[in-house]
Amino acid sequence: MKIFVIDKFKAIGIIFIIISISIFLFSCLGGFAKENILPIYSVETKEAAVSITFDCAWTAEDLPSIEKTLEEYNCPATFFVVGSWAEKYPDAVLSLFKKGHEVAGHSYNHAHYNSLSAEALTADMQKCDAVIKDITGSNTKIFRAPYGEYNENVVRTATSSGRTLIQWDLDSLDWKDLTESEMEARILPNVKNGSIILFHNGTKNTASALPAILKALKDKGYSFKTVSDLMYHDNYYIDHAGRQFKN
């Protein structure tokens, strides 16, 4: 019978390698993401459902057209509104809310969140959400940072204040004045269950592009949910790509 003897230094090396591999695999499987230091970009679900979201910071002239299209395709959407914009267009915000859409915060004046302290972030989020509550009478627990900008301080501050940061996994780039066909090409081939799709109101082509995009998504078998209805609210983790999984 052969007996293999491993000296102390080789044993330490082997143990180090095993620990390193374990940490790597744990990270890949989303273990560290359970700290929720990322926003939610999309949701892992077997249901063929997606969220249509709009960031609102400019005008409101195209909202009646957008609302009509959303109603036609039975699409409850989530509108992330800047507080100062909501103060300027309270009737538009209330109309969205009364028609069953979700209204959530997008900062008070679209500041760069990465440059703000935790105290300043909390104050800004509270100010924005207070405007929304004054108009709709409803509290909101999800939030989208301006410019989609965040760092660990932004995520942790939002989380500690009871808010969940929401990003997106599909970007229409409508603010760049893309054409209807260009937006379709960005979204339709890449959509999947649990996608969160980003649009803006007050752009050149969003209102006109929306009917064809929603029709194509329905033809693919997708239904529409607000972000709060799509996401999980407890017992979840977020992987390294920002995809939310149920534990």
pLDDT of 34 reads 45
In tens, the pLDDT along 77-125 reads 999 999 999 999 999 999 999 999 999 999 999 999 999 999 999 999 9
pLDDT of 37 reads 86
Q: Are 143 and 163 in contact (CB under 8 A)?
A: yes
The whole-number average pLDDT for the span 187-207 is 98
Long-range Cβ pairs for the range 110-116 (8 Å, 24+) = 110/57, 110/82, 110/146, 110/147, 111/146, 112/146, 112/147, 112/149, 113/145, 113/146, 113/147, 113/149, 113/150, 113/154, 114/149, 114/150, 114/151, 114/153, 114/154, 116/154
pLDDT higher at 14 or 195: 195
- Specify the CATH number of the domain 36-246: 3.20.20.370
Closest CA to 71 of 28, 47, 26, 101: 101
Residue 140 has pLDDT above 80, yes or no: yes
Residue 31 has pLDDT above 60, yes or no: no
Average pLDDT of the chain, as a whole number: 91
β-strand pairing of 223-224 with 236-238: unpaired
Domain ranges across the chain: 36-246
pLDDT of 23 reads 46
Q: Are 3 and 207 in contact (CB under 8 A)?
A: no
Instruction: Say which residue the tokens 């273990």 belong to.
Output: 31
